[in-house]
Amino acid sequence: MSENGKPKFAMYWAASCGGCEIAVLNIHEKILDFDANFEVAFWPVAMDAKYKDVEALEDGEILLTLFNGGIRNDENEHIAKLLRQKSQIMVAFGSCANEGCIPGLANLSPIESLFETVYNTVSTENEEGIRPQSSYEMPEGTIHIPEMYPVLRTLDQVIDVDYYMPGCPPESHQVAAVVDLVISVVKGEAVLPPKGTVIGAGNSTVCDECERTRNVKKIKKFVRIQDIERFDPEICLLEQGLICNGPATLSGCMAKCPTSGAPCVGCYGPGPRVLDYGARMVAALASVIDSRDPVEIEAILDGIVDPAGTFYKFNLAHSLLKTGKASWNGN
């Protein structure tokens, strides 16, 4: 509790893009309700704060922490553990913290090739071949920068997480609903859901929220969105041969992408009782291919250009296999 009697709030970004912070600000005037009920203790994107300020807090002094981003380096890990210690409620906020998201796709490559891409490609001006070093001797003393880990880990692979809030980023109406819930809990008007609950999402799949017409699916050819001039605006995108991840994806976004003509990419993560997102997509797509001939099936499957990247776009770091073999090196 702060001096003005308001419970404390923290939000941190680890390996993420910053879209989650924008999603929070995107709740519009509700942010005023939020400000009226919470004291921001630590939110590097929104206001100045130092790590030592957080370290100075009592354990459990922060009521609510929204943590977005995966754990990619030792700074991320340190802050995750620190905030866990200082917070009563830790929410894995957004796809990166939940399941790795796009930064998690780097788990398909060894760390050396990541550095190679960033510091040594044709378009990079780095004639001296400078690479980041985690510590460097200066006349004034040794300076440190965070050391990158060989793989990206999700938040719950590093610390204990109370609630999961999926989405890339979480939809603003869902953020607003969660904010409302927490405020009413603070006021004593509601109780928190059981630990480990997925909050701010539906309990079905994107297909259930999608308003497109669904018939029996028989796919003879997979196409990419740029390959075809015009799609039927009413019919299910998967039926038209587009790879839509709706069948495996948790609902809660009101099926915004498929409704507006873009296939679902799966940012809300695995749906209820889906153990492995990619496996569910393999099962779903293989079931609707209309062929019994191995040669023809292979030809149809050629239309899925990047199966691992398509089925694990958001979920690789939290899949059953957790990572690609390449990133084992050095781990």
Which residues contact another protein by CB under 8 A?
71, 77, 107-108, 151, 153, 157-159, 275-276, 278-280, 282-283, 285-287, 289, 291-292, 294, 297-298, 301, 304, 306-309, 311-312, 317, 319-326, 328, 331
CB of 170 to another protein, least distance (A): 24
CB of 192 to another protein, least distance (A): 23
- Alpha-carbon distance of 320 to 329, in angstroms, equals 19
Q: Toward another protein, which CB reaches closer, 53 or 302? A: 302
- Alpha-carbon distance of 218 to 195, in angstroms, equals 41
β-partners of residue 242 are: 223
Q: Toward another protein, which CB reaches closer, 71 or 178? A: 71
Q: Which residues contact 202 (CB under 8 A, 6 or more apart)?
A: 208, 209, 250, 251, 252
CB of 282 to another protein, least distance (A): 4
Q: Toward another protein, which CB reaches closer, 8 or 153? A: 153
Q: Toward another protein, which CB reaches closer, 7 or 324? A: 324
Tokens of residue 7, six digits:
């419970």
- Alpha-carbon distance of 196 to 35, in angstroms, equals 26
Contact by Cβ (8 Å): 170, 21? no
- Alpha-carbon distance of 97 to 99, in angstroms, equals 6
Q: Toward another protein, which CB reaches closer, 254 or 282? A: 282
CB of 116 to another protein, least distance (A): 19
Contact by Cβ (8 Å): 94, 154? no
CB of 328 to another protein, least distance (A): 5
Contact by Cβ (8 Å): 302, 85? no
